[in-house]
Structure 1
Amino acid sequence: MKKYLAMLLACAMIFAFAAGCAQQNPANSDEPTATNAPTYVEATPVQNTELVTDGNETVSDKDTINIAVDREPATLNPGGVSSNVNEIIMRNVLDTLLKFDENAIPQANLATEWEAIDDLTWQFKLRDDVNFTNGEHFTAKDVVYSINRLANTTTGASALTYIDLSGVEAVDDYTVNIKTTKPYAFLEAQLCQAVMCIVNEKAITEMGEDAHGRAPVGTGPYMVADWTAGESITLERNENYWGEPAKLKTVVLKIMTEGTSRTINLETGDIDLNCRLQTTDIDRVEESSDMYVLAGAQNTLRYICFNTSVEPLNNVNVRKALYHATDTELIRETIYGVKSSEKANGPIPPSFQGKNHDLPEYEYDPAKAKEMLAAEGYENGFEVSFIYLANTTNNMFAEMLQSMWAEVGVTLVLQPTESGTLSTMLNAGDYEVGTAATDMKLCDAGEGLYAFFHSSSRGSSQDRTWLNDADVDAILDKIVTTLDAEERNKLVSEAEAMIHDLCPMIYICHPWRVYGARSDVRGLKVLPYDMEYYSKLYFVNED
C-alpha cells in the first residue's frame, strides 16, 4: 500500500491540473476575441465547443494553415488500413453520400434525398452538379463502383458485413438503390463513414490503388498536392468544389508523433493547430496569451475488458467483484484528467439516444469485493494476466490497477505489449484482462452495442469481451432490424441494462478530444466523432 500511495503522489505531481483554471462558457456568453485570448472551454457532449469571429475581429488574408497530426496515414483510399487521421483527411478530400451534422445526425451530401422504399431497399437521389478533380462527372455508376470495390479491401469488407449488403444498382444517372438481405437500421449512419467515401473508377484504374491512395481523386473541398513521407501532407483548395469553397487555400498536415513536440511547435508558431493536445500540456497552453484550448466530448469509451470465456472471468460475480475493487474515478482523474474526460457508467456515451441513465453504479468498495470473491470460492484470491499497449500512461494505469486488485487478494500479472501484438491477441481472445479504447463509429448506440457485445462480433476489432449470451444476442438482433427510431431507442436502453448487469467490462471514462490552437485561428468546432472540417478554418487579424 505504501508503494501504491507513493506512486499516486508521483502521478498527482505529473498529471495534476491547476485548480480554478477551467472556466465555464455559458451558452449565452460572448465569444472570446483575439485581443482577449480565450482559455479552456468545457464543452458538453451536446453543446460542442466552437470559436468563431465576433464583431470586433476582421478576417486575415493568411491562406495557409499548419496543422500537427499524431501519425502518418497508411493510405487515403477508402477501405484501406484505417486510423482517425486518414479518415479525417479522406473526408476533406472525398465525399460520402451522407454526412453527420454537429450532433451526429445523418444529413444530405452527395445524396440530396433518400427513403426506405421497402424493408430491404433504400433509394438515394444524387446531386447532378458534381465533378471529380480529374474532370470526370459524378454519377450513380461511381456509387455502385465505390461500394462494390469495398468487398476486396481491408476494412471495407467488414463494413459491408455489418450492412449485410445484397446489392447496389444504378436506377438512372442520379438514382441509386442499396439493397440489404434484412432490415438494417444503421444504413444512413454507415453511409456517413469515411470507408464509404465515393471514388472514381477511371482514376483508380489509371493510377492504380497505391498511387491513388497517396493522391486520391475526389469531389471534396481539398485535394492532395504533396505527400512527403514521414514529414507532411499538403492539401490545396479544390477550386471546382460543388459546395461552399474552403476558406484557406492550403492546409499543411505536419506529422508529429511526439505530444511534447506538437506543443512546443504550437508555442513557437511553427504550427497553428494541434489536433492531439496531450492532457499534461493543457495548463501550459491555456496559460499563454498566444494560444487557447478547445475540448469536447467524443464517442469513445476507455475501459478494462474481461475475457468472459475463460475462468474465473466467466463467472459474473467474480467480474463484479473486480469492478468493486477498482477505483475508476481515481484512475480517470489521475491518468486521463478531469479536464479531458467524463465519467462513464455503461458503454454508451451520455448524450447518445437510447442511453440508459438509470444504471446502478459499481461503486469502489474493496470490502464488498473481498466478500464477493470469498462467496465464489476465491477467499485467497487468484492470479490473472493484464495485457495493454506499452507506453508511459498505460504503464501507470496498469500499476495502479495492480495495486488496487492486490488489496482484495488478486495478483495482476502485467503484460505490456506492442500495438500489433496487442490487436492480434485481443482479436484472437488470447488474453484474460486487457484495456482498450473503442469508438462508436456510427455514433449510434445500437450499432455500438452490437459491435461490442454480440457473439458474432467475436474476433472483430471492437469486441473485447468475448461475451456469449443468448438473451443479449436476441435483443441486439432486434435492434439491428428495427427501423422505428423510438422503438429502437427503447430496445437500446433495455440492452444496455442487460449488458451492464453481466459486467463484461469496467468503464473508466469517455475521453474528450482536446485541441490547442494559436490565438488567431478560428472556425474549429469540436465534434462528437472523428472529423475536422479544414474548409471552415480561417485566421483573424490581431492588434
Structure 2
Amino acid sequence: MKIECSTLPMGLLAAVLALGPMTQVFAKTPSDQLIVGMSMVNLFSIDPANAPGLDASGVNANLYDTLIKRDQGNPEKHLPQLAERWDISEDGRQVTFHLRQDVKFHSGNPLTAEDVAWSLYRVMKLNFGLATTWKAYGYSVDNIQSLIRATDTHTLVVDLPHTLDPLLLVDSLAISPSAVVVDRKTVLAHEKNGDLGAAWLVTNEAGSGPFVLTKWSANDSLLLSRFDGYWGGAAKLKRVVVRHMTESQSLRLMLERGDLDLAYGMAAPDIRAIDGSPKIQVQSLPRGTMYYVAMSMKQPEFAKPQVREAVRNLIDYQGLDEQVMPYYGKLNQQPMQLGLQARLPDPGYHMDVAKAKKLLAEAGYPEGFNTTIRTLSEPPFIDIAARLQATLAEGGIKASIVTGTGNQVYGAMRARNFEIIVARGAERYPHPYFSLRTFAYNPNNSDDAGLPNFQGWRASFFSPPLNSLIDEAGVTRDSAQRISLYHQAQKLYDQQVGPILMISQMTDTVVSAADVKGFSGDDAEATRYLGVYKQR
C-alpha cells in the first residue's frame, strides 16, 4: 500500500512516522518537513540547566537563543544574537550587553534582561553539572544575582568575580549549553516544590528560538514546529520530525528509498556504500569533542601511574584510527583540539605489550587484574570498547564490557562510580584554555565538590601544579606567554600520566538527501534548521 504522507492529517502522519524502520512506507517526505533519523538514546533531558549532551544541544539550539554566538571555528570572534552589541570595561572586569527589543518567547512574553539574568541564576541554584562552567569563573548561588543583573529592561551587566580574561566569559556565554535564555514567567508557572521548573523542563521548553517543541516521546520521536513569530525571521521548514533510530542499515535503507531526509550516526560501512551517489549528500563536520578512554583513580589499580601508563600502552591507537574511526573521528592524543596554535604534536603513543606487562609487574600486578569497561552499545563506542577489551587482555588485564543508556554510562562517570569508560565529551569549540580545563583541571577532588563538568574531577585526577598552569593561562594577556603555559600544561599531563586518554577527535558525518539545501552543520552540534529547505 502506498501512503502519500503530504495528504495525511497531522495525527496520522505522526503515527506513520513513528512506525519502525521495516514498515513498508514508500512515500516521499513532505516538502515542508525535514524527517531526521538518529539515535536518541542519550537524549534524556532538554532542560538547559541539566542537558550537557550533544544531542540535547542540537535540539535546544532550535528552541532557545543565546546572547551571542561564536563565529564558526574562531574562538575570539563573536556575533550578535539576542544582544545587539556589548561593551567591555577598560579594566576587563565588567561586560555590558544591550539586548534587542523585538524578541518574544514562544509564550508571547517579551524577552528581557531579567530573563537572561534569571536563566543563569537558575543554573547555579539547581547546581547540576553545567553549573561547573560558571563556578570556574568564581560565580556562586550567593553572588551571581549581584554580579549578573538587569539594570533596565534591555541591559544586562555582568561583573567578573575575579581577574580573568573577559573574552573567556564572553565565549562561554556564546557556547555553553546552559547559556540559553529561558522564559522566567512560563517556567515559574510550572514550578513544583521550589524546583524552578526543573521537572517540567526535562520534556518541555520555554524558549524564543525558531522552532517550538510540539511533542517528544523518549526513544521514539520528537517534533519541532516552526515559530512564526521568530525575531530572526520564520524558518523555511514547517516542521522537523526526529525519529529514534539506532540501526545504521535502517538509516541507510530509508535514506535510499526517500523515507528520511537526513541521518546522524550512520556506521562507516553504510556511509562508504552510498558516498558518491547523486541522490545523497555526505557532509563531514569537525567537532571539538573527543573520544577517550578514562580510568578512575578512585580505583586502587588506576591510582598507580604505572598501571595507567600500562593501559596507555595497551591501546591500538593506529588500528582504531584506520579501522574503526573513519567517518567518526581523527587521531588525536592530546587533551586539546587539532589545529590550535597552542597544541603540541601528538606524543606518539602506540601498542607496546612488553612495556605494558613490565609496568604492571612493577605496580604489583604481574598477572594482571579484572576490571570493567562501561560504554554505550552503539558505534563507534562499542567497537572501541571491544578493541580495548582485546588489547588489554594481551597485557593480562581482563575486562568485561558493561553497556547502558547515555544516562547510565555518563551518570556513573559523573557519580565517580566506574573503573574504565569509553566515552565522548569535552568542550565543543576549539579553545586551548577550555580544552585543558575540561580534561586536566580539578580544583577540588572531594566527592561532594560536585564538579562533573570537569572530566578530571570525574576521574579523580588532582594536580595542583597543573591547575596553576591552567589558571595562569586564563588570566595572561601576552600571547607568547600564554602559549608557553599551554605547552607546559600538555607536557605535565603527559608526565603525570593523566587518566583520560584521548584517542580521536570527533568527526560527525551527516548524510542527507540531495534535495536538502541550506544545511550547514555547526561545530558544536548546535546546528539550526532555520535556513534549511528542500529544492524540489
TM-score relative to the length of structure 2: 0.80
- Among 130, 134, 137, the residue aligned to 1:163: 137
How far apart are the structure 2 equivalents of 1:95 and 1:395?
34
Tell me if 1:191 matches 2:178: no
Query: Residue type of the partner of 2:153?
Result: D
SS of match in other structure, 1:144? helix
* Residue aligning to 1:182: 162
* Residue aligning to 1:107: 79
Structure number with the bigger relative contact order (C-alpha 8 A, sep ≥ 6) is: 1
SS of match in other structure, 2:224? strand
Tell me if 1:426 matches 2:413: yes
Residue 278 to residue 323, structure 1, CA distance change in 2 (3 Å) = same
Q: In structure 2, list runs of 5 or more residues that go unmatched.
A: 1-28, 192-196
* Residue aligning to 1:331: 320
Residue 390 to residue 296, structure 1, CA distance change in 2 (3 Å) = closer
After superposition, give the CA deviation of every residue in 1:373-397 in whole Å (9 maximum; x if it has no partner): 55x3658342141322262655554
* Residue aligning to 1:27: none
- Among 205, 210, 214, the residue aligned to 1:216: 205
Conserved in 2, the CA contact under 8 Å of 1:104 and 1:528?
A: no
After superposition, give the CA deviation of every residue in 1:167-222 in whole Å (9 maximum; x if it has no partner): 21112222211123223442122212232111222222335535565453432222
Conserved in 2, the CA contact under 8 Å of 1:184 and 1:483?
A: no
**After superposition, where does 1:49-448 map in structure 2 within 5 Å?**
62-71=31-40, 73-105=43-75, 106-117=78-89, 118-153=91-126, 154-165=128-139, 166=143, 167-185=147-165, 186-192=168-174, 193-208=176-191, 209=197, 214-227=203-216, 231-286=220-275, 288-308=277-297, 310-336=299-325, 338-357=326-345, 359-373=346-360, 376=362, 380-389=366-375, 391=377, 393=379, 394=381, 396-408=383-395, 410-419=396-405, 420-441=407-428, 443-448=430-435
Residue 93 to residue 411, structure 1, CA distance change in 2 (3 Å) = closer
How far apart are the structure 2 equivalents of 1:499 and 1:377?
20
* Deviation of the 1:229 alpha carbon: 5.6
* Residue aligning to 2:488: 494
* Residue aligning to 2:22: none
* Deviation of the 1:324 alpha carbon: 2.7
Query: Residue type of the partner of 1:444?
Result: H
* Residue aligning to 1:540: 535
SS of match in other structure, 1:536? coil
SS of match in other structure, 2:103? coil
- Among 517, 522, 527, the residue aligned to 2:517: 522
Query: Residue type of the partner of 1:254?
Result: R
Conserved in 2, the CA contact under 8 Å of 1:349 and 1:510?
A: yes
* Residue aligning to 2:17: none
* Residue aligning to 1:508: 503
Conserved in 1, the CA contact under 8 Å of 2:384 and 2:422?
A: no
How far apart are the structure 2 equivalents of 1:428 and 1:202?
33
Residue 466 to residue 77, structure 1, CA distance change in 2 (3 Å) = closer
How far apart are the structure 2 equivalents of 1:207 and 1:431?
35
SS of match in other structure, 1:510? strand
Query: Residue type of the partner of 1:295?
Result: S
How far apart are the structure 2 equivalents of 1:131 and 1:484?
41
* Deviation of the 1:97 alpha carbon: 0.7
* Deviation of the 1:156 alpha carbon: 4.5
Conserved in 1, the CA contact under 8 Å of 2:149 and 2:156?
A: yes
How far apart are the structure 2 equivalents of 1:204 and 1:429?
31
How far apart are the structure 1 equivalents of 2:491 and 2:314?
21
* Deviation of the 1:318 alpha carbon: 4.0
SS of match in other structure, 2:96? strand
Conserved in 1, the CA contact under 8 Å of 2:35 and 2:261?
A: yes
After superposition, give the CA deviation of every residue in 1:345-370 in whole Å (9 maximum; x if it has no partner): 2121212352223x431233334444
* Deviation of the 1:515 alpha carbon: 0.9
Conserved in 2, the CA contact under 8 Å of 1:97 and 1:110?
A: yes
Conserved in 2, the CA contact under 8 Å of 1:115 and 1:123?
A: yes
Residue 235 to residue 432, structure 1, CA distance change in 2 (3 Å) = closer
Query: Residue type of the partner of 2:94?
Result: T
How far apart are the structure 1 equivalents of 2:292 and 2:46?
29
How far apart are the structure 2 equivalents of 1:213 and 1:318?
40
Residue 315 to residue 82, structure 1, CA distance change in 2 (3 Å) = closer
How many positions carry a matched residue from both structures? Answer: 478
SS of match in other structure, 1:239? coil
Conserved in 1, the CA contact under 8 Å of 2:215 and 2:224?
A: yes
SS of match in other structure, 2:494? helix
* Deviation of the 1:527 alpha carbon: 2.9
Residue 483 to residue 238, structure 1, CA distance change in 2 (3 Å) = farther
Conserved in 1, the CA contact under 8 Å of 2:95 and 2:157?
A: yes
Query: Residue type of the partner of 1:196?
Result: A
How far apart are the structure 2 equivalents of 1:69 and 1:399?
23
* Deviation of the 1:71 alpha carbon: 0.9
Query: Residue type of the partner of 1:451?
Result: T
Conserved in 1, the CA contact under 8 Å of 2:392 and 2:399?
A: no
SS of match in other structure, 1:298? strand
Residue 234 to residue 402, structure 1, CA distance change in 2 (3 Å) = closer
Conserved in 2, the CA contact under 8 Å of 1:80 and 1:156?
A: yes
Residue 123 to residue 493, structure 1, CA distance change in 2 (3 Å) = farther
How far apart are the structure 1 equivalents of 2:51 and 2:524?
19
How far apart are the structure 2 equivalents of 1:466 and 1:155?
16
Conserved in 2, the CA contact under 8 Å of 1:120 and 1:183?
A: yes
Percent identity of paired positions between Structure 1 and Structure 2 = 23
Residue 171 to residue 488, structure 1, CA distance change in 2 (3 Å) = farther
* Deviation of the 1:317 alpha carbon: 4.1
How far apart are the structure 1 equivalents of 2:187 and 2:365?
63
How far apart are the structure 1 equivalents of 2:224 and 2:383?
38
